Amino acid sequence: MKQKLKDEIFKKRKTLSKSEIKEKSTIIRKKLNSMPEFKKSKNILTYVSFNNEVDTINIIKDLLIKNEKNVLVPYVDKGKLIQISKINSFDDLEPKIFGILEPKKNKIKKIEINKLDLVIVPGIAFDKNGHRIGYGYGYYDKFLGKLNKNAIKIGLCFEFQIVDKIPQEKHDVPMDIVITEKTILKLQ
């Protein structure tokens, strides 16, 4: 069931034009920026978007320009675990695994997971209880299970990526909030 759902959502996401992604992502970014949970957070980890995901590149650039918060991005180590690095400039990033932008080796400023206030999480689909379907590699599942209980987990997606129910597995960690261009689901 999960694979069928993934395939359907991927197919829909691939049909989005660059202008649709930009327009919907701008609305999502404004909603995120207006949230008290986002405003009060100091250490924000966000995925770096690729492949028709909700654009986080402009979120990252906005945060870097304002310079009021620590901008953190994930990178994958040799053990296939997500690590966290602070970045000071978008130029600190380069394409790595799957073409996803990650910190250049000489720009890594490792941060401990317990320092995170807020984590912006990618997903192929989210349900109305905050559960998600990822890409299937388990990077985020392992990572999210190690977060401190006060870290807020926010999933960003387009409205068509919200489904009624996703089959749960014991290692799944639900989001606290899911934001689309049409709605904000506060779940915890």
pTM above 0.85, yes or no: yes
Instruction: Provide the pLDDT confidence category of residue 99 given band limits of 50, 70 and 90.
Output: confident
Residue 30 burial (CB < 10 Å; 0-12/13-18/19+)? exposed
7 falls within a domain: no
Encoded amino acid at 170, one letter: K
Instruction: Say yes or no to pLDDT of 42 above 90.
Output: yes
167 falls within a domain: no
- Over the stretch 56-82, which tens digit does the pLDDT of each residue have? 999 999 999 998 999 999 998 876 789
Mean pLDDT of the 145-150 span: 92
Split into its structural domains, the chain has a count of: 1
Q: What is the mean pLDDT of the chain?
A: 93
156 falls within a domain: yes
Looking up residue 54, the CATH number of its domain turns out to be 3.40.50.10420
The pairs formed by 77-83 with CB atoms below 8 angstroms and a separation of 24 or more are 80/137, 80/138, 80/139, 81/139, 81/142, 81/143, 82/139, 82/140, 82/142, 82/143, 83/108, 83/110
What is the structure's pLDDT at 153? 97
What is the structure's pLDDT at 63? 95
11 falls within a domain: no
Range of 158's domain? 18-120+143-162+173-186
79 falls within a domain: yes
108 falls within a domain: yes
Q: Which residues contact 83 (CB under 8 A, 6 or more apart)?
A: 74, 75, 76, 77, 108, 110
